[in-house]
Amino acid sequence: MVTFSPAKWNAPKAPGLVGDYEENDRLAGARLVTTPFSGPEDVAVGPDGELYTGTENGSLLRITTGGNVSTVANVGGRPLGIERYGDDLLVCNADLGLQRVTLDGTVDLLTDTVGSQKLLLTNNASVAADGTIYFTESSQRWPLSEYSNDIVEGTATGRLLRRSTDGEVTELVPNLAFANGVALDADESSVFVAETAKYRIHRHWLTGDKAGRTDIFLDNLPGFPDNLSFADGIVWVGYASPRNPQVDAMSTKTWMKHIAFRLPDAVKPKALRHGLVVGYDLEGNVAHNLQDPSGKVAITTSARVANGSLYIGMLEDPHIAIVEL
């Protein structure tokens, strides 16, 4: 059993949904595609041009351009990040590690360990042109079923990892407070990684004079950044929720964290049902700001652009959202 051991950090004052993040209803008009199971957390475009997503019951679903939904496979755990992987799909299975799934439903394990240590919470990934996989382990202490404990505790055991084409897995960026979304830039000179519990996104350099260096790309964000994607010079961020004042208030108070840990799940701080998707240019400026304060499109864990549309995944609801750009 894991002993809850909270750490202090000083959460900066939230920027609020004003200015560049001014509240709007641009997500409220999104078209919803219903899935037979809840929690299509990420949405990817497969090698066949169709959409793929994974749901909380372990299903990997195919969504055709006509809106038909079918089950490709059950991956045996909770699929989170989904990426194209050559002619197949890469699944970040929170419970089981990295998996390769063929379009006809064959599931193979790529890795579930780093050295001799089992992966505990595999979350999101980005695949390079040569097949190298950059992916996150959100926590080395808490599984997905207890992810909120990791965010409240703040011990920062998440990390960015790399699986090379020969299967070797190495650590690139350690000590992240709930490592989450991953996205390579256009020329694969750097990789972006979200640090959910500290409201920021890092940029780790892979080539050039900065190779091996990690910079803070975005800091003091207005919410909990989740999955990332990159398209046409824009880093897309799905925010699971805007900032929660209760969570910020306890950042420096370990006694408050102990109380929150002991609360029944029904009264613990929760994600706010306010959809929030933001696109940033490579200078860190807000280029797109889409929101839904009504909660119709909410707990927006991913956003990906393809074919002129923005495809949005959600952690809890039984649908994905599509916005024409």
Reduced to 3 states, what is the DSSP secondary structure of residue 157?
coil
Distance separating alpha carbons of residues 46 and 69, to the nearest angstrom: 14
Is residue 12 included in any domain, yes or no? Answer: no
Structural domain includes residue 8: no
Q: What is the pLDDT of residue 203?
A: 98
Cα 301 from Cα 312, distance rounded (Å): 7
Sign of CA dihedral 100, 77, 176, 312: positive
Domains contained in the chain, number? 1
Running DSSP on this structure, what letter comes out for residue 258?
H
What is the pTM (predicted TM-score) of this model? 0.97
Which residues in the chain show pLDDT less than 70? none
Position 110 in a domain:
yes
**DSSP H or E segment with residue 242:** strand 234-242
Q: What integer pLDDT is reported at residue 66 of this predicted model?
A: 85
Instruction: Please check whether residue 224 lies inside any domain of the structure.
Output: yes
The pLDDT, as a whole number, for residue 268 is 84
CATH of the domain at 268: 2.120.10.30
Q: Is residue 148 part of a domain?
A: yes
**Within a domain: 11:** no
Query: Does any domain span residue 9?
Result: no
Residue 292, pLDDT score: 98
The pairing of beta strand 117-118 with beta strand 122-127: unpaired
CA torsion, ordered 200, 171, 137, 92, to nearest 10 deg? 110
Domain that includes residue 88, residue range:
20-324
What is the structure's pLDDT at 2?
Answer: 92
Q: How far is CA 63 from CA 49, 145, 291, in A?
A: 10, 27, 24
Question: What does the pLDDT look like over 12-52, one tens digit per residue?
Answer: 999 999 999 999 999 999 999 999 999 999 999 999 999 99
- Looking at residue 47, what is its pLDDT? 95
Q: 154 and 176 in contact (C-beta within 8 Å)?
A: no
Question: pLDDT at position 257, please?
Answer: 95
Neighbours of 22 (CB within 10 A): 11
What pLDDT is stored for residue 267 in this prediction? 83
Q: Which amino acid is at 111?
A: T
Answer yes or no: is 15 within a domain.
no
What per-residue confidence (pLDDT) applies to 270?
Answer: 87
Is 63 in contact with 51 (CB distance < 8 Å)?
Answer: yes
